[in-house]
A and B are shown apart, each in its own frame.
Chain A
Amino acid sequence: MEDEQSFSDICGGRLALQRRFYSPSCLEFCLSCPRITLRSLTAVTCTVWLAAYGLFTLCENSMILSAAIFITLLGLLGYLHFVKIDQETLLIIDSLGIQMTSSYASGKESTTFIEMGQVNDVVINEAIYMQKVIYYLCILLKDPVEPHGISQVVPVFQSAKPRLDCLIEVYRSCQDILAHQKATSTSP
């Protein structure tokens, strides 16, 4: 079962939240970030090449122009492979764990899996980000030494940065599954 909703992120860009319901114990949320636009790409390329041409008229060395082309290409490849995240996915499987996947624009995927035994809770936190106060969803990990303590806070959807309404949707479904998991784990 799949449904899609449209939300906005903290800067006003459009996000698409896809929710896939595989079973009562397995849920997947897929948040798609706004894609790289032709306008921004053209703007950056033109700026770099204008600067390079300005330097060339000063120095009369044609190596500057080839260097500018290389820099633009390598910069674009590096940006697509290491910086630009297209999609962020959160997969929750009852009694197994929570998995977070980030897909980059070049196709690279980086995955982190947290076992259910390490998860204390999933909460929405406030944070001060530049000049704004934003909400973010995070997973609290258990401290192995202290049973009720928290050892680490793992934020989710870090590059998509959705607003509170989207976070509440995800939070409610996560809490349903966690409550069900706690209920079954305490009963023998």
Chain B
Amino acid sequence: MVLKAFFPTCCASADSGLLVGRWVPEQSSAVVLAVVHFPFIPIQVKELLAQVQQASQVGVTVLGTWCHRRQEPEESLGHFLEGLGAIFSHKPWFQLCRERGSKSWRCKATHWQGPASPATSGEDQVILIFYDQRKVLLSQLHPPTALPDCQAGDTTASAGGLAAVFDTVACSEALFQSDRFDEGPVRLSHWQSEGMETSILVELAKWAAGPVCLFLACLLSLISAASACRVFRLWPLSFIWSRLSTCEQLRHRLEQLTLIFSTRKAKNPTQLMRKANMLVSVLLDVALGLMLLSWLHRKDLIGQLADALIPVADHVAEELQHLLQWLMGAPAGLKMNRALDQVLGRFFLYHIHLWISYIHLMSPFIERILWHVGLSACLGLTVALSILSDIIALLTFHIYCFYVYGARLYCLKIRGLSSLWRLFRGKKWNVLRQRVDSCSYDLDQLFIGTLLFTILVFLLPTTALYYLVFTLLRLLVVAVQGLIHLLVDLINSLPLYSLGLRLCRPYRLAAGVKFRVLEHETGRPLRLLMQINPLPYSRVVHTYRLPTCGCHPKHSWGSLCRKLFFGELIYPWRQRGNKQD
């Protein structure tokens, strides 16, 4: 039978001693965690192992002996090492041996049958696998596919041989607490035996994090309480809050900040990563917003923008007026119904005139408003972009109104036409059965119905043209807003901390392992080096994506075309289900 021994690379140059670790019988593999050096008292070693076992729930035992000598071991040492096998009985008993300064290793695994019958002890073939203990301790294994019927967190030792190795090393933190400068009874060698690694900044940050988190959590709870009570009191305000995307974004950020600064500790590494990703995302957002603010103020762009806003609004209104004049004439050579054309055209022209008057009324306050809005960029670039999207929505409100009027008119006409078409053929819509049934109409019903049908059919091109033009304009505005929302979503959901971790410390996020065969001599055991295979970037983004507001268009292209054809209003960004108009 082939046994596998996982040996840490840091112990390859350690002095002789005992091998301490965990034996996994299902995988027939032994994971060596540390080396206990001579001299030691067996009772104290057993006590230490019992303590570690209690602290970490991992079955740590003495697995065998490790011999690091200059030349071939002497006979007395050989007997001494075998005698140790009798004290710490373990099946199988490993005897690893290495000549100092050379690359030749030797490994024997014996099943100790008892001192009375050494001849019946069997020897098995051993594969030595070297692993970097620090990297395996710090890394987190991501299984390739998560099956739907597997529970999350099902990384017990019985699931997958390599997950067992990772778990063993990760759970045995208690064993790695003592280093060689300690005055304890037992001397150990492992990855931290040269001294525990820590950083002053990290320790200070941990110590300061407690009170800071508490303070910020109280502040944030006050803010959210204040915003909650005001929204539900007045109806017009709550209606406006739900329309503006800025409020959505601010609420989202408030939720994220509450989660980051909550005093509850993260339960598992995934939650910790999520918190870290959110924090980095917020910090980047604020940094970009401050850069934008400084750029705007340096070139005094706010003043220029305020000066340019009114002429731009005037220009847009003028272009719309030209468009309506064109529609009222003979657009693209089509002949319109003169009376309806004039009515609709004049109605929309008057609407534009009203809009321009309101804009001119607001013009003295524009600069002040813009300056305050520009200040909000210090809350983050996403907030500034949301405000930009809202300003676009407000400035093109008249296009939205025209679209709604045109769509309602067209929808009414289409419904009337379909119903009268059914009458024309002698059928009726049965509301009870939700289907078309035949029906016998009176003569005067048929007469009036056919008359109305003819009128609607001949007025259809005019209405359809107005509807088409304003729908295209509305779709253009929606497309621009959509691009801005896409950018905001990107900043919100990109897991920057995970990507940075993957770039700088690729062993922390592991997709699996890879093996390399080291120099091999016949007669010696096979030696492999186990390295960590890092997660590809696409999987990092997919696994650690932050949840966003969920502003995705709910329609597929087919349903969108269907709604456009029948004149139903489209609400691409409304996820709350509130209907306007």
Which residues of A are in contact with B by a Cβ distance under 8 Å? 20, 22-23, 25-26, 28, 91, 93-96, 99, 101, 111-113, 115-117, 144-145, 184, 187
**Contact between A117 and B160, CB atoms less than 8 A apart:** yes
For A95, give its contact among B4, B147, B512, B514 (CB under 8 Å). Answer: B4
- The answer to whether A95 and B2 touch (CB under 8 A), given A115-B162, A145-B149, is yes
Q: Given B127, B147, B149, which contacts A96 in the complex, CB threshold below 8 Å?
A: B127
Contact of A23 with B514 at beta-carbon distance under 8 Å, contacts A145-B149, A184-B2 already known: no
| Distance, CA A96 to CA B528, complexed state (A) | 11
Q: Which of A28, A91, A111, A187: most chain B CB closer than 10 A?
A: A111
**Is B304 an interface residue when CB atoms closer than 8 A count as contact?**
no
Partner of A94, one of B2, B129, B512, B517: B2
User: Which of A25, A26, A28, A94 has the most C-beta atoms of chain B within 10 angstroms of its own C-beta?
Assistant: A26
Known contacts A22-B520, A95-B2, A95-B28: A111-B161 contact under CB 8 Å: no
Please report the C-alpha to C-alpha distance between residue A177 and residue B515 in the assembled complex, in whole angstroms: 18
Closest to A100 in B: B514
**Is there contact, CB below 8 Å, between A113 and B160?**
no
15 contacting pairs across A/B (C-beta < 8 A): A23-B526, A26-B127, A26-B526, A95-B2, A96-B129, A96-B161, A96-B515, A96-B528, A99-B514, A99-B515, A112-B512, A113-B513, A113-B514, A113-B515, A187-B1
Query: B4 is contacted by which of A96, A99, A113, A117 (Cβ under 8 Å)?
Result: A96
How close is B518's CB to chain A, nearest CB, in angstroms?
Answer: 10
List chain A residues, Cβ under 8 A from B514. 99, 101, 111, 113
* CA of A20 to CA of B519, assembled, Å: 12
Q: Give min CB distance, B309 to chain A, whole Å.
A: 36
Chain A residues, Cβ within 8 Å of B512: 112-113
Given the interface contacts A95-B28, A113-B515, does A25 sit within 8 Å of B160 by beta carbon?
no
A-B contacts besides A22-B517, A184-B2, 9 pairs, CB < 8 Å: A23-B520, A25-B526, A26-B127, A95-B28, A96-B129, A99-B515, A111-B533, A113-B514, A116-B161
The answer, yes or no, to whether B543 is at the interface (CB within 8 Å) is: no
Q: Provide the residues of chain B in CB contact with A101, threshold 8 Å.
A: 514
How many residues belonging to B are interface residues under a CB distance threshold of 8 Å? 21
Inter-chain contacts of B238 with A (CB < 8 A): none
Within 8 Å CB of B528, what residues of A?
93, 96
Measured in the bound complex, the distance between the Cα atoms of B241 and A5 in whole Å is 74
Q: With A25-B125, A26-B517, A96-B515 given, is the CB distance from A113 to B533 under 8 Å? A: yes
CB pair B149–A91 under 8 Å, yes or no, is: no
**C-alpha gap A184/B125 in the complex (Å):** 12
In Å, the complex CA distance between A94 and B3 comes to 10
In Å, the complex CA distance between A26 and B520 comes to 11
CA distance A99 to B1 in the complex (A): 21
Chain A: minimal CB distance from B293 (Å): 35
Closest 9 CB pairs of A and B: A111-B514, A95-B2, A23-B526, A22-B520, A113-B512, A184-B1, A26-B526, A111-B533, A22-B517
Interface string of B157-169 (1 = CB under 8 A from A): 0001110000000
Interface string of B478-516 (1 = CB under 8 A from A): 000000000000000000000000000000000011110
List chain B residues, Cβ under 8 A from A95: 2, 4, 28, 127
Assembled-state Cα–Cα distance A142/B160 (Å): 13
Give the residues in chain B near A22, CB-CB below 8 Å: 517, 520, 526
Q: Complex: how many Å from CA A93 to CA B529?
A: 13
Known A-B contacts A25-B127, A113-B533, A145-B149; A91 and B162 likewise in contact (beta carbons under 8 Å): no
Please report which residues of chain B, range 185-218, place their CB below 8 angstroms from some CB of chain A when the two chains form the complex: none
B26's nearest neighbour on chain A, judged by CB, is: A117
Q: What residues on B are CB-neighbors of A94 within 8 Å? A: 2
Whole-angstrom CA separation of A187 from B520 in the bound complex? 28
B162 contacts which chain A residues (CB < 8 A)?
115
Q: Closest Cβ of chain B: how far from A12's Cβ, in Å?
A: 32
Q: Which residues of A contact B533 (CB under 8 A)?
A: 111-113
- Residues in B lying within 8 Å of A, measured CB to CB: 1-2, 4, 28, 125, 127, 129, 147, 149, 160-162, 512-515, 517, 520, 526, 528, 533
Which partner residue on chain B sits nearest A95 by CB separation?
B2
| B149 with A93: CB separation less than 8 A | no
Chain B residues whose CB sits within 8 angstroms of the CB of A93 once the complex forms: 127, 515, 526, 528
A115 in contact with B160 given A25-B526, A145-B149 (CB within 8 Å): yes
Provide the bound-state CA to CA distance between A93 and B513, in Å. Answer: 14
How distant is B117 from chain A, measured CB to nearest CB, in Å?
20
Query: In the bound complex, how far is the Cα of B533 from the Cα of A22, in angstroms?
Result: 23
For B2, B129, B533, which residue has the most chain A Cβ atoms within 10 angstroms?
B2
Which of B513, B517, B520 meets A91, CB within 8 Å? Answer: B517
Bound together, the chains give a CA A105 to CA B1 distance in angstroms of 40
Instruction: Name the B residues within 8 Å of A145 (CB-CB).
Output: 147, 149
Quick check: B127 and A117 within 8 Å, CB to CB? no
Which residues of chain A are near B517, meaning CB under 8 Å? 20, 22, 26, 28, 91
Closest partner residue, chain B, to A188 (CB atom): B1
Q: How far is the CB of B181 from chain A (nearest CB, A)?
A: 37
Chain B residue nearest to A113 in the complex (CB): B512
Minimum distance in angstroms from B248 CB to a CB of chain A: 39
Q: How many angstroms from the CA of A85 to the CA of B104 in the assembled complex?
A: 35
Task: Across the interface, name the chain B residue whose C-beta is closest to A144.
Answer: B147
Closest to A187 in B: B1
Find out whether the CB atom of A115 lies under 8 angstroms from the CB atom of B147.
Answer: no
CA gap between A101 and B517 in the complex, in Å:
13
In the bound assembly, the distance between CA atoms of A22 and B518 in angstroms comes to 10
CA distance A116 to B1 in the complex (A): 15
| Residue among A113, A116, A145 with max Cβ neighbours from chain B (10 Å) | A113
How many angstroms from the CA of A91 to the CA of B129 in the assembled complex?
15
| A91 and B161 contacting across the interface, CB-CB below 8 Å | no
Q: Please, which residues of chain A bring their CB within 8 A of the CB of B160? A: 115, 117
Q: How far is the CA of A132 from the CA of B125 in the complex (A)?
A: 45
With a cutoff of 8 Å between Cβ atoms, the chain B residues found around residue A99 in the complex are: 514-515
Find A115's partner among B125, B161, B520 (CB 8 Å cutoff). B161
Given contacts A25-B127, A115-B162, is CB(A91)–CB(B515) below 8 Å? yes
A46 to chain B, nearest CB (A): 35
Give Cα A151 to B517, complex, Å: 29
A25 to B28, CA, bound (A): 15
Q: How far is the CA of A25 from the CA of B513 in the complex (A)?
A: 19
> A184 — which chain B residues lie within 8 A by C-beta?
1-2
CA–CA, A25 and B533, complex, Å: 23
**Interchain CA distance A187-B124 in the complex, whole Å:** 14
Complex: A95 Cα to B28 Cα, angstroms: 9
A184–B149 Cα distance when bound, in Å, is 31
Kindly state the separation between the CA atoms of A20 and B526 in the bound complex, as whole angstroms.
13
Q: Which residues of A contact B147 (CB under 8 A)?
A: 144-145
Q: How distant is B271 from chain A, measured CB to nearest CB, in Å?
A: 27
Q: What residues of chain B lie closer than 8 Å to A144, measured between beta carbons?
A: 147
Q: How far is the CB of A93 from chain B (nearest CB, A)?
A: 7
